[in-house]
Amino acid sequence: MRLKNGESEVAVHCGLHPDIDELAPKYNVEIKFEGSNPYVRDKIVLYASRGCTNKCGYCAVPRLEGDMNSFKSIQHMLNAGKAEIKNPSAVVLYDNNFTEHQHFDDIVDELIKADTDDEITNAAKKVRVLCED
């Protein structure tokens, strides 16, 4: 869609941009609240999929992100996070349906290799042990 703005045209994209899943979150943005110290960004926040397998009437995820799309790897997001955050305190997996993930085992292995001492990495190690039995 193109909108005319005086002499120039502006391209407007509807929906999620096709390249959005290749972009790693930016961690070097400083957040300050008046009268307080800057917000400390010490955690890597990432996602391993978009969309959802469920179609709950109250939820907008299927309408906004479509059907479940599992990423084969999260390594590029982990690397980008580690490049910006030295010694991250945690990896936060922000995912709608991780247990439905098509590449669940591979993502669990990548979380274990992330080598952070946090709940996500420790939980991934426990999941790996359970899957081996």
- Residues near 14 by beta carbon (within 8 Å), at least 6 away in sequence: 1
Range of the domain at 106: 17-132
Domain for residue 39, yes or no? yes
pLDDT at res. 127? 61
Residue 9, domain member (yes or no): no
103 part of a folded domain: yes
Buried b (16+ CB within 10 A) or exposed e, 46-74: bbbbbbbeeeeeeeebbeebeebebbeeb
CATH assignment at residue 59: 3.30.750
- Tell me what pLDDT residue 33 has: 74
Is residue 80 assigned to a domain?
yes
pLDDT tier at 35 (50, 70, 90 boundaries)? confident
pLDDT value of position 126: 62
- Predicted confidence (pLDDT) per residue in 63-99, tens digit: 888 888 888 998 888 888 888 888 887 788 778 777 7
How many structural domains comprise the chain?
A: 1
Answer whether residue 8 is part of any domain: no
Instruction: Check: pTM over 0.75? Answer yes or no.
Output: no
Is residue 10 in a domain? no
65 three-state secondary structure: helix
